[in-house]
Amino acid sequence: MARKNIGLRQGTQAHLEGGMQMGLVRVIEGTDGVPPEVVVCVKDEEEKEYTLHPGDSFLIGEQTWKLDRIGEPVRNRWGAVFSRVD
Question: What angle is formed at CA 65 by the lines to CA 52 and CA 82, rounded to 5 degrees?
Answer: 70
Model confidence at 79: pLDDT above 60? yes
pLDDT classification of 67: cutoffs 50, 70, 90? very high
pLDDT digits (tens, 9 = 90+) for 27-55: 988 888 888 999 999 999 999 999 999 99
Does the model's pTM come out above 0.75?
A: yes
Q: Please report the pLDDT score of residue 54 as a whole number.
A: 95
Cβ-in-10-Å burial (0-12, 13-18, 19+) of 70 comes to buried
